[in-house]
Amino acid sequence: MAYEPLLLRNVGKPGSETIDVYLASGGYQGLRRVVKEFAPEKFVEEVKAAGLRGRGGAGFPTGMKWGFLPKTKDRPRYLCVNADESEPGTFKDRLLIEKDPHLVLEGIILSAFAIECHTAFFYIRGEFHTGYRTFAKAIEEARAKGFLGKNILGSGYDLDLILYRGAGAYICGEETALLESLEGKRGLPRIKPPFPAVVGLYGCPTIINNVETLANVTLIAERGASWYAGLGRPPKNTGPKLYCVSGHVKRPGVYEAPLGIPLMELIQERAGGLVHPDRPLKAVVPGGSSMRVLPATKCDVLMDFDSLIAAGSMLGSAGVIVMDSGTCMVWALLSLARFYAHESCGQCTPCREGTGWFVKVLERIERGEGRPGDVDLLIDVASRVEGNTICPFGEAIAWPVDSYARVFREEFEDHVAHGTCPIGATAAR
């Protein structure tokens, strides 16, 4: 039976970004139902019962995150939408923002309602020009129809949504750097604790949720927690998921499937298989560039949070980067390392110094000037970055370095021993 898309149900329809198309597909019915039938805390319970886990990368249960807000309401609470999608290999939020903004917007209103927030912020990546324009228009449409603003749908609930463009720094996707940026400061991650739920935007309790997470909230409002909790691989991996497939596949793109679709099914059936018939699969990064790489032998895995942790990687942002046998792993890692060295905010020592060091060693290996011990050096330096930084950026570079160097150690050692690339990939030089 073909999978009936939920998150992508409008994508592909003409004018899918307009409120009319969205309303015709049953849009804003969930909101209507929730503001009428639910007290805010009841809807938090509903999201908890649905088992929704954050789609931004960490997979943290959304309802539980909301529950961390202090019970006292002496200060305003804020909802910040993390639309700073910048992880290499990830392009799902962008699709939702550009093609079905109201699905996201309805989720924002629902979530803000649930946490009793009256001012929400939509922090959108600076490079998303189309998305910015589309979403700005969506906000106007929603406001005109009474879904945003004062007394939403006659419920007495008020919500204002402020659209804010980032300036294009990867680090601003880290939730506390996002808050700093939103406050008009340099986007540097904060030390935690305190966590944003307690001390967040402008020192007030703040929830930061990913775009796709909020779109899922809309689904829960529409069809209920028990329906939602039955999707995917219950009890801990529920709901639909957007997978971004890129690399050496015939049809790269965003695919929707329930959590737990087999990785190989995603690659072979949804993305059309590998591009080159004579180049077998070599490796897959299952969750965006920050996650550990899986060799082809370990790709028989289900694409959900817990299965991928068991396989030694993580679902992350579900950016599935497929590499065939023509890929030089040293070059692939160097390319990644350059990105992370460029994007490291420079605040804390291990990340600031470590990222540059990785690039220099990998460049040397690529130049054919690798030395015995270089692979162990990479692994050791990665181990001194991992876990010692202010934010998860440290892991985001340490995990790829460690896993590429360990899994493909022979290939790295060959580069060092022969001073040349055994794969014959000369793109680097």
Partner 1 sequence: MPDPTPPAPNAPDQVGILIDGRPVVVTKGATVLQAAETIGLEIPHYCYHPGLSIAGNCRMCLVEIEKMPKLQIGCATVASQGMVVQSTTERVRRTREGIMEFLLINHPLDCPICDQAGECRLQQYEAAYGAGFSRFTEEKVHFPKRVALGRHVVFDAERCIKCTCCIRFCDEVSGSHELGLFQRGDHSIIGTFPGRPLDDAYSGCTVDVCPVGALTLKEFRFKARVWFLKDVPSVCGGCARGCSVNLATYRNAIHRITPRVNMDVNRHWICDAGRLSHRALDERPRFESPRVRPAPGAGPAGGGPPPDVAHDRGIDAAADLLRAVKERAGAGGLAALVSARLTVEDLRLAVRALAETIGIPRLAVPPHEEGEDDHLLIRKDRTPNVRGAALVGPGAPHAGRVREILDDVTAGRVKGLVVVGEDPVGEGLLAAEAVRSLQALVVIDWWRSPTVEAAHVAIPSCGYGEFEGVFVSFEGRAQRARAALKPRGHVDPVWRILQDLGHRFGLAATYPSASAVFDEVAASVPAFAGLSYRALGSLGAALKVT
CB of 159 to partner 1, least distance (A): 34
Give yes or no for residue 352 binding partner 1 (CB under 8 A). Answer: yes
Give yes or no for residue 289 binding partner 1 (CB under 8 A). Answer: no
Whether the link from the prior residue into 234 is cis, omega within 30° of 0, is no
Among 37, 387, 417, 426, binds partner 1 (CB under 8 A): 387
Segment interacting with partner 1 (CB under 8 A) among 5-13, 43-51, 247-255, 347-355: 347-355
What is the footprint of partner 1 within residues 396-425 (CB under 8 A)? none
| Among 239, 237, 324, residue whose Cα is nearest residue 277 | 324
Give yes or no for residue 107 binding partner 1 (CB under 8 A). Answer: no
Whole-angstrom distance, CA of residue 39 vs CA of residue 114: 8
CB of 352 to partner 1, least distance (A): 5
Segment interacting with partner 1 (CB under 8 A) among 4-12, 107-115, 263-271, 337-345: 337-345
Among 353, 406, 409, 422, binds partner 1 (CB under 8 A): 353
Q: Are strands 160-165 and 302-303 parallel, antiparallel or unpaired?
A: unpaired
Segment interacting with partner 1 (CB under 8 A) among 59-67, 244-252, 325-333, 354-362: 354-362
CB of 362 to partner 1, least distance (A): 11
CB of 163 to partner 1, least distance (A): 25
Place of tokens 């946490």: 115
Among 19, 97, 257, 341, binds partner 1 (CB under 8 A): 341
Among 23, 143, 357, 428, binds partner 1 (CB under 8 A): 357
| Among 211, 223, 275, residue whose Cα is nearest residue 249 | 275
Among 62, 218, 238, 344, binds partner 1 (CB under 8 A): 344
Which residues make Cβ contacts (< 8 Å) with residue 365, sequence separation at least 6?
330, 374, 412, 415, 416
Q: What angle do CA 214, 45, 308 make, to 5 degrees?
A: 55
DSSP 8-class letter at 372 = T
Among 112, 299, 390, 407, binds partner 1 (CB under 8 A): 390
Among 361, 379, 396, 421, binds partner 1 (CB under 8 A): 361
Counting residues that bind partner 1 (by CB under 8 A) gives: 29
Give yes or no for residue 349 binding partner 1 (CB under 8 A). Answer: yes
CB of 136 to partner 1, least distance (A): 29
Give yes or no for residue 191 binding partner 1 (CB under 8 A). Answer: yes
| Among 235, 230, 214, residue whose Cα is nearest residue 92 | 214
Token representation of residue 26: 């049953």
At CB < 8 A and 24+ separation, what contacts does 136-144 make? 136/163, 137/17, 137/101, 138/17, 138/19, 138/101, 138/102, 138/105, 139/105, 139/163, 141/18, 141/19, 141/102, 142/19, 142/102, 142/105, 142/109
Which CB sits closer to partner 1, 118 or 364?
364
Is residue 123 within 8 A of residue 211, CB to CB? The reply is no
Give yes or no for residue 335 binding partner 1 (CB under 8 A). Answer: no
Among 79, 120, 329, 348, binds partner 1 (CB under 8 A): 348
CB of 244 to partner 1, least distance (A): 26
Give yes or no for residue 389 binding partner 1 (CB under 8 A). Answer: yes
Segment interacting with partner 1 (CB under 8 A) among 21-29, 95-103, 296-304, 385-393: 385-393
Binding mask 64-103 for partner 1 (x = CB under 8 A): ----------------------------------------
Chain-centre distance of CA 323, in angstroms?
A: 20
Whole-angstrom distance, CA of residue 228 vs CA of residue 47: 9
CB of 427 to partner 1, least distance (A): 22
Whole-angstrom distance, CA of residue 200 vs CA of residue 207: 8
Segment (H or E) for 107: helix 101-114
Give yes or no for residue 377 binding partner 1 (CB under 8 A). Answer: yes
Whole-angstrom distance, CA of residue 174 vs CA of residue 391: 8
Give yes or no for residue 157 binding partner 1 (CB under 8 A). Answer: no
Whole-angstrom distance, CA of residue 113 vs CA of residue 55: 20
Which CB sits closer to partner 1, 129 or 360?
360
Which CB sits closer to partner 1, 364 or 409?
364
Is residue 91 within 8 A of residue 244, CB to CB? The reply is yes
Place of tokens 């291990």: 350
Give yes or no for residue 360 binding partner 1 (CB under 8 A). Answer: yes
Whole-angstrom distance, CA of residue 407 vs CA of residue 412: 10
Contacts to partner 1 by CB under 8 A: 169, 186, 191, 341-350, 352-357, 360-361, 364, 377, 381, 384, 387-390
